[in-house]
């Protein structure tokens, strides 16, 4: 199967209203910039987005929020974003907050064929409400289920035409688990090379998980907290 597509617009063109999308990244680091721009142009609405954060007002998922494309966010930390706050308080936007490790593991489980797992995170808190709890060796855990998502959209540093991916530094974050978890996974990469050029020893995500891949353009890689010594 040919996985390479020309650009972001072609990669996202079959995404429809009401779908659930996973979007990689931590803050603005390692987010699929090209696909987010293409989703804004596509104008799909009522999306459920699973992503650790919700971008900032004028970048990342914030751009999709501005266009009222998102019905629900599933995240661990939000609120670097005034438009997000406005929509949340007015009831236009639904938000489910989860512990970060639980968010990661629910992605991982989805990609690993595991329907649910038990974690201690959130036991005794609001997060546990409505969830099954169980004791193992004297400690309490809550059951969390694998996510179900139509598309996963990830960003890698390098990729090849077979879909193999290599991530860079902390831009890896949620991308590898999400890449495994989508019914369809789109990968945008900074550099796309012919199969055979990447050393198999250093592949982070094997190509079997990737359905569409393209080389992105004009990466802005915005920095949220520019700290120097």
Can you give the binding site for other proteins, defined by CB under 8 A?
A: 26-30, 52, 75-79, 85, 88-89, 95, 97-105, 107-108, 119-127, 157, 167-177, 204, 221-229
Sign of CA dihedral 35, 28, 182, 192: positive
Distance between CA atoms of residues 153 and 213, nearest Å = 10
Q: Which is nearer to other proteins, 26 or 209 (CB)?
A: 26
Q: At closest approach, how far in Å is the CB of 229 from other proteins?
A: 4
Q: At closest approach, how far in Å is the CB of 29 from other proteins?
A: 5
Q: At closest approach, how far in Å is the CB of 50 from other proteins?
A: 12
Please check whether residue 61 is in contact with residue 34, taking contact to mean a CB–CB distance below 8 angstroms: no
Q: Which is nearer to other proteins, 7 or 102 (CB)?
A: 102
Q: Which is nearer to other proteins, 5 or 51 (CB)?
A: 51
Show the 3-state SS of 124-157: CCHHHCCCCEEEECCEEEEEEECCCEEEEEEEEE
Rounded to 10 degrees, what is the CA torsion of 180, 182, 183, 189?
Answer: -80
**189 membership: H or E segment, kind and range:** strand 182-193
Q: At closest approach, how far in Å is the CB of 79 from other proteins?
A: 4
Q: Which is nearer to other proteins, 44 or 93 (CB)?
A: 93
């Amino acid at each position: 199967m040919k996985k390479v597509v020309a650009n972001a617009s072609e990669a996202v063109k079959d995404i429809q209203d009401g779908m659930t999308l996973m979007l990689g990244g931590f803050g603005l680091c390692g987010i699929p910039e090209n696909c987010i721009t293409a989703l804004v142009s596509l104008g799909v609405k009522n999306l459920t987005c699973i992503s650790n954060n919700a971008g900032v007002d004028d970048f990342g998922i914030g751009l999709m929020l501005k266009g009222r494309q998102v019905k629900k966010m599933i995240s661990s930390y939000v609120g670097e974003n005034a438009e997000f706050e406005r929509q949340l308080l007015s009831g236009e936007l639904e938000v489910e907050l989860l512990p970060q490790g639980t968010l990661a593991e629910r992605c991982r489980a989805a990609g690993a064929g595991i329907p649910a797992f038990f974690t201690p995170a959130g036991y005794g808190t609001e997060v546990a409400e409505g969830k099954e709890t169980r004791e193992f060796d004297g400690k309490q855990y809550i059951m969390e289920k694998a996510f179900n998502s139509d598309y996963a959209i990830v960003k890698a540093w390098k990729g090849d035409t077979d879909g193999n991916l290599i991530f860079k530094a902390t831009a890896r974050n949620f991308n590898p688990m999400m890449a495994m978890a989508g019914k369809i996974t789109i990968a945008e990469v900074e550099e796309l090379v012919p199969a055979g050029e990447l050393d198999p020893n250093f592949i982070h995500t094997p190509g079997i998980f990737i359905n569409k891949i393209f080389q992105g353009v004009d990466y802005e890689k915005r920095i949220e907290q520019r700290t120097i010594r």
